[in-house]
């Protein structure tokens, strides 16, 4: 299963392969179900305006809904409640919503697994029996033995809103450090569990964010990163600065944790600590915002009180630590290789003249490298589809890994001495299947394969390439029922992201399966700004070039219409986070091109995004209104600022959540308020604001089903999809 990409926090590279996030899918609000009548005519809540005006480099910009940024104010809470009442009433009156929810629930009810990993002779993996709100972590001594529940997040809250967000197992397999998030917040608490007894120890860490954990080889503690505690009332909106790297010694209070590294002169630097598999070195990766470039330092743990050594400090490329052979460190880097390569640096001779290239750049994009069975396992993207190759430690090709089809794989982690690795494979019509890969023989066998009530053979996937506004060749996946008639009347959902070096690849989604069953066409466009073709592709959609992303998306829509897959009256667009910005920008630039829009947790105010939580980190992709040139570019496409009075906009349902401390909900509040005020015509403009939910990670299955039922019901109402059979009874 592929995670829905969101605007990610600073990338703390090189964390241990045992640090994993469990499968998390985005969702929004719980709303009542049932309907018997057509939706009522909408009367939107009254939204007051203020006379707030800012001056940006000589340009005055009005911000009449600034008051909605105060999420703790009674007036804001009243506005949220009023908007939710309108949205709830409208969605509940849509014929077929009950049947859509019933079909989603049945489709969702299938067993699914995470990719197993091994520590200290024990295997660990996640499993969801189908409708559990959160996946459960299991451990097992052998792959054929009965699994034992190690941690069940469903027991930690009555409504499933506490999620397991990170974990690390000690080298001997006896201790689990794990992170928990409540209500979807990025803030985490970390605890320690004895794997043998299943009981928690006294250790309890707070105010952890954008961090994993990495155990020392001796198991006496682990490294992690955190911020200082925020001021009262600022936890969900205060700016996050001055990240720090700590060592927590087992059995001690957090206040006694040793500060390993900080930079008081660099408030925007973020730190990730990783202990090498041989236990000798602590690798410190330093990020700055969401820029793929990073710095690297290290500390020799075999020497008492060894200093932190600066290794790569030029901030000229990305350097992802892979593994080491003594003093030789292997890095995947895009230095002089925008599609990435593997190099070796001997820290006893760190000069660039001594660096060695192990795996050179190819025409495909190198996404990741691991070392298992004394071999490199390299994962590639070819036109946004996965490929995997095996190399010797000298960089000599061994074999290509045979994959089940054109889709997406993940996993292949392990240790150098291991002879097996596990990986997942998924496609648009195939849910995540887990395979065990035997390195000596090159044979793959199925470990776990989901079974669900969906006829994958009834649908086909094709990849097309279209020309954007400037003739750039852009790929797009299309998924639809076999025998589709190209008559321009097919309800079509176009999805995109286009940012932060994130690649969109084929992946299974329950709601997408339901969409296909209802006769919809699904289109996924691989826009510039993503990582599908390496760093050049990413940079082509950033800062002053961000309009390229919107042009790519608009060109995808125009291609679908021109080739008779759909028409403007049958076309909807969808995206989340940076993809929410994409949808907001495109519906303001070309409102006549789309019938419906679903912007989720989007960045809608491009002049103030950097003033909240981790928003400042996105300046590496967006730029900042503090810079005159970048201000003009941002102001030209900022969704909130480019809405115009008297325009007939597409039917729009904005979604956000009260605990979103990644993209604060004020973005969606302000955009929806202005859209409701300016829009003319009968197309509905709704905002759906979830409670006890955040940016997308860790939301319970019940909320996922409710959200997707609302989305599909909304699109059915606007585009005229075929309802599930139960709706006709």
CA distance 633 to 629: 7
Let me know if 577 is a catalytic residue. yes
* Residues ≥6 apart with Cβ < 8 Å to 275: 16, 214, 215, 216, 217, 223, 281, 282, 283, 301
- Which SS3 state, helix, strand or coil, does residue 621 take? helix
Report how far apart, in Å, the C-alpha atoms of 98 and of each of 101, 105, 699, 709 are: 5, 11, 21, 8
C-beta separation of 123 from 115 below 8 A: no
Distance CA 584, CA 610 (A): 18
Task: Please give the DSSP secondary-structure letter assigned to residue 603.
Answer: -
Report DSSP letters for 626-646, one per residue.
TSHHHHHHHHHH-TTTS--TT
Sign of CA dihedral 465, 468, 472, 475: negative
Sequence-distant (≥ 6) Cβ neighbours of residue 95 within 8 angstroms = 35, 36, 37, 38, 723, 727
CB 316 within 8 A of CB 40: no
Q: Is 143 left (phi over 0), alpha (psi -120 to 50) or beta?
A: alpha
**How many whole angstroms separate alpha carbon 633 and alpha carbon 577?**
19
Strand partners, 525: 476
Contact 376, 323 (CB under 8 A): no
User: Residue 379 to residues 434, 498, 704: CA-CA distances in angstroms?
Assistant: 16, 21, 30
243 is catalytic: no
Helices (H), 27-153: 74-92, 97-108
Those residues with Cβ within 8 angstroms of residue 200's Cβ, 6 or more apart along the chain or in another chain:
191, 192, 193, 194
Burial class of residue 357, CB neighbours in 10 A (0-12, 13-18, 19+): middle
C-beta separation of 638 from 559 below 8 A = no
Catalytically annotated residue among 413, 577, 620, 638 = 577
Residues designated as active site: 577, 695
């Amino acid at each position: 299963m592929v995670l829905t990409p969101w605007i990610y926090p600073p990338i703390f590279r090189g964390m241990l392969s045992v640090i994993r996030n469990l499968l998390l899918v985005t969702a929004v609000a719980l709303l009542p179900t049932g309907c018997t009548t057509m939706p009522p005519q909408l009367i939107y809540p009254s939204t007051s305006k203020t006379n707030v005006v800012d001056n940006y480099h000589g340009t005055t910009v009005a911000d009449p809904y600034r008051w909605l940024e105060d999420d703790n104010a009674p007036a804001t809470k009243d506005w949220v409640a009023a908007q939710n009442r309108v949205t709830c009433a409208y969605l509940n009156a849509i014929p077929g919503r009950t049947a859509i929810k019933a079909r989603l629930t049945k489709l969702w009810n299938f067993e699914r697994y995470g990719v197993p990993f091994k520590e200290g002779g024990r295997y660990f993996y996640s499993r969801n029996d189908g409708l559990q709100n959160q996946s459960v972590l299991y451990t097992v001594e052998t792959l054929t033995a009965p699994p034992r529940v190690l941690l069940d997040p469903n027991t930690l809250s009555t409504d499933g809103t506490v999620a397991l967000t990170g974990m690390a197992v000690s080298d001997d397999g006896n201790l689990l450090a794990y992170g928990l998030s409540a209500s979807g917040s990025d803030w985490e608490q970390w605890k320690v569990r004895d794997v043998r007894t299943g009981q928690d120890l006294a250790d309890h860490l707070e105010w952890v964010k954008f961090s994993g954990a990495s155990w020392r080889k001796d198991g006496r503690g682990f490294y992690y990163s955190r911020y200082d505690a925020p001021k009262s009332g600022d936890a969900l909106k205060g700016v996050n600065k001055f990240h720090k790297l700590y060592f927590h010694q087992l059995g001690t209070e957090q206040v006694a944790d040793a500060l390993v590294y900080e930079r008081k002169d660099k408030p925007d630097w973020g730190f990730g600590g990783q202990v090498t598999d041989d236990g000798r070195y602590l690798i410190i990766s330093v990020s700055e915002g969401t820029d793929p470039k990073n710095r690297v330092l290290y500390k020799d743990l075999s020497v008492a009180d060894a200093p932190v050594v600066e290794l790569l400090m030029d901030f000229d490329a990305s350097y992802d630590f892979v593994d080491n052979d003594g003093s030789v460190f292997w890095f995947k880097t895009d230095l002089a290789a925008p599609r990435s390569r593997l190099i070796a640096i001997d820290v006893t001779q760190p000069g660039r003249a001594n660096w060695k290239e192990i795996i050179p750049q190819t025409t495909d994009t190198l996404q990741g490298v691991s070392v298992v069975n004394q071999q490199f396992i390299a994962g590639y993207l070819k036109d946004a589809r996965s490929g995997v190759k095996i190399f010797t430690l000298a960089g000599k090709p061994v074999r290509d890994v045979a994959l089940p089809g054109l889709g997406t794989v993940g996993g292949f982690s392990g240790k150098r001495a291991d002879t097996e690795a596990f990986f997942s494979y998924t496609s648009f019509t195939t849910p995540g299947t887990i395979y065990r890969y035997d390195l000596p023989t090159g044979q793959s066998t199925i470990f776990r394969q989901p079974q669900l009530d969906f006829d994958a053979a009834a649908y086909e996937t094709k990849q097309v390439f279209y020309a954007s506004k400037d003739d750039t060749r852009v790929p797009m996946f299309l998924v639809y029922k076999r025998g589709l008639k190209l008559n321009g009347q097919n309800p079509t959902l176009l999805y995109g992201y286009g940012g932060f070096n994130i690649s969109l690849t084929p992946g299974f989604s329950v709601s997408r399966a339901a969409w296909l069953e209802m006769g919809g066409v699904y289109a996924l466009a691989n826009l510039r700004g993503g990582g599908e073709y390496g760093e050049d592709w990413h940079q082509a959609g950033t800062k002053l070039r961000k309009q390229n992303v919107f042009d790519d998306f608009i060109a995808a829509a125009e291609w679908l219409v021109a080739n008779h897959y759909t028409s403007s009256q049958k076309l909807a667009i969808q995206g989340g986070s940076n993809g929410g910005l994409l949808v907001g920008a495109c519906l303001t630039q070309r409102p006549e091109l789309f019938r419906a829009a679903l912007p989720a947790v989007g960045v809608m105010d491009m002049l103030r995004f950097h003033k909240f939580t981790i928003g400042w980190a996105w300046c590496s992709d967006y730029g900042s209104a503090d810079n005159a040139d970048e201000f003009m570019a941002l102001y030209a496409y900022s969704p909130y600022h480019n809405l115009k009075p008297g325009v007939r906009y597409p039917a729009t349902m904005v979604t956000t959540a009260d605990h979103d401390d990644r993209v604060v909900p004020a973005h969606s509040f302000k955009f929806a308020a202005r859209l409701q005020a300016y829009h003319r015509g009968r197309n509905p403009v709704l905002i759906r604001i979830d409670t006890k939910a955040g940016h997308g990670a860790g939301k319970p299955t019940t909320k996922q089903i409710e959200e997707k039922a609302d989305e599909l019901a909304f699109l059915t109402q606007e585009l005229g999809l075929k309802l599930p059979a139960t709706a006709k009874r």
